[in-house]
Structure formats: structure tokens, C-alpha cells
Amino acid sequence: MSKENDLIDEFNIIAKFFTPLTKNASGTFGLLEDAAVLPPISPQQEWVVTVDAIICNVHFLPNDPIELIARKALRVNLSDLAAMGATPYGYTLTIALRKNLPDSQCLLKKVSNGLTIDQAEFGIHLIGGDTVSTNGPMTLAITAFGIVHKGKLLRRSAAMPGQDLWISGTIGDGAFGLKVAKGMLSKQYLELVDRYRLPQPRISLGCRLSGIAAAVIDVSDGLIRDAQHIANQSNCRLVIDGSALPISESVSCIIADRSEMLKLILTGGDDYELLFTAAPDAITQIQQASYELEIPITRIGWVDSGKGVDVLDYNGTKLNLLAESGWSHF
């Protein structure tokens, strides 16, 4: 009850920090209604909806800058839209904050500032939200909305034997960045922390892959684990050529010294690159997309008949993958 805590009023919070994020878009009603209305889309388009929550100490560290936490919460959802080939439209935000937090106004201002930056970067706005108190860790739950042309939706289930397996960007940076942020690796690799804290959702690539790629997924839980999703849902086997994995210079330096960390490239999450399969004759289009969008895209394997995911080492020998092949929440 307000008697128990007169620090901030939920509705002042909304007016001050969140209503500006709606950019007065039609249907958001300045966040003053019980609900919002999505704008009409053409009969040739569809709404795509995705939901992802991030929680302190699970998805981010207590010392991570608040602005970046908010932006990451948004970006992991935009990455899901990218993997479906959708163009982002907007999002709802549920934010749970500890009761009686002395600096909650300051914290919410930072959340709002972070989201403002990314709204401009991705051309989206806030649609609605809920601000609640908790006696647990800070939690941001986002539902993101995108639009896709009918028939252009990308799926995980479209891989077929004979296709190539590709990945955008470099892999492993997110997981190694987390280790640097935790002080488990030298600060000389500080730029990896940025990869962990502020992933780059591959929106433009996702849209471009419609009609080029077959199965697509974003690598959030770890390369092998996400590859397994494609394999399971396409009912085929993915073979990853371990020697072909695109890794950054920093990660390359780290594993040169500490080879026990090699498997982190395969199992670490938080990369938010697009992993996709495509017919062999799509190579020219993929290279063209890579060139125009200035995003490295690397062929890292192929699709075969069978089940599961195999990783081959430098000699073409199958690696013995352990049970722990990615991030699992429970």
C-alpha cells in the first residue's frame, strides 16, 4: 500500500520514464489505458511475437551497467525476431524491481535511457508494460513484435541433407566475455565483455535470409545446443567442422594459452549470431549478403541424414561431446 511506501508512485514512474518511450505512437495511448492496440498490417503481412526474460545473476551480473542490461533484454528478443526473418515493430516491457530500493528512480532512468538508444537504433517503440515490485532480483520480461511478409517466415525445421551449414560473425565471444566480466580471464580481453553485454541482433541479415536460407536459429544457448534444435526439428543430422569455426582474435589468443577452454566455443551461449542451413547453390547470394551487410558469414559444416549434431576436429575425427552441450536453466 502507498502508506507503507511513499517513495515513488507507479503511475509517476510510467509517465516519467516509460510514456516517452512510446513516441506517441497510435494505439499505445501514452500507456494510460488497460491495454494497447497494434496497428493494422496488410493482408500480405503477419505479426510475429516472441518473449524473453532476463534476470539478475542468471542472464546478467549485478555490476553490469543498467543501460546495457535493458538494451540486452531488448536485443535478445530482437534476435529471436531476426531468426524468424521479421522486422521489429515494438515491444512490451515488464520490469520487476526490489521494493524500497533507494535509487530506484535513478535505475529506472537508466533503463529508460538504454531503451531510448536502442529504440532509435532499431526503429521501434514501447507498446505497453507493467512495473511491479519484487523481493527478488531485478527482472526484465519483454514481449517483442515484428512483421514478416507471408511465406517469408524462417523456421528451424527446414534443414535437409545436402545443405550447407553457415554462421554469421564470430562464435564464443559472448561466453568468453562473461568470463572476463567475472574476472576469470585477463582484462586485456575487455572488448569481449561488450559482446556479452550488448549482443548485436542480426536483423538485417535475418530479413535478407528469407528466400536464401532453409532453417535458421539464433545462437543464444550455445552453438551445439542450438544446432541440435535445427537437427531435432528438421529430423536430420548437422555436422560441424570444428576447424572452420569463425573465432575472434581475442578468443584465438585465449585458447592458444588455455586449450581446456576450447569447448566453450561450442557450448557457450550469448552469441546471438544466426546459424542457418542453405542449399549449396545459395553460396553466391550468401556471399553477396555478407558483402553488402558487412557481416562475415562462414560455412561451418553441412546437413546429413541421421540425428543430432556431430563436431569434427582438425583431423576430421568426431569429437566426443559431453552431456553439457549448452546453457540449461534447470
* 310 annotated ligand-binding residue: no
The verdict on 330 binding a second copy (CB under 8 A) reads yes
State which of positions 58-77 bind a second copy (CB under 8 A).
58-59
Dihedral pair phi/psi, residue 288, rounded to 5°: -65, -45
Number of neighbouring beta carbons within 10 Å of residue 285:
16
* 270 annotated ligand-binding residue: yes
CB closer to a second copy out of 9 and 249: 9
Pick from 114, 146, 177, 199: which binds a second copy (CB under 8 A)?
146
The verdict on 158 binding a second copy (CB under 8 A) reads no
State which of positions 210-249 bind a second copy (CB under 8 A).
217-218, 229, 233
Pick from 17, 18, 22, 50: which binds a second copy (CB under 8 A)?
50
Q: 103-110 — which CB contacts under 8 Å span 24+ positions?
A: 104/7, 104/8, 105/8, 105/13, 107/66, 107/138, 108/13, 108/16, 108/17, 109/17, 110/65, 110/66, 110/67, 110/70
One-character DSSP codes across 106-144:
HHHHHHHHHHHHHHHHHT-EEEEEEEEEESS--EEEEEE
Find where cell 526503429 sits.
123
State which of positions 187-206 bind a second copy (CB under 8 A).
none
The verdict on 5 binding a second copy (CB under 8 A) reads yes
* Residue 278, strand partner residues: 164
| Residues 245-274: x where in contact with a second copy by CB under 8 A, - otherwise, as a string | ----------------------x-------
* 327 annotated ligand-binding residue: yes
Per CB under 8 A, which region of 54-62, 67-75, 188-196, 295-303 contacts a second copy?
54-62
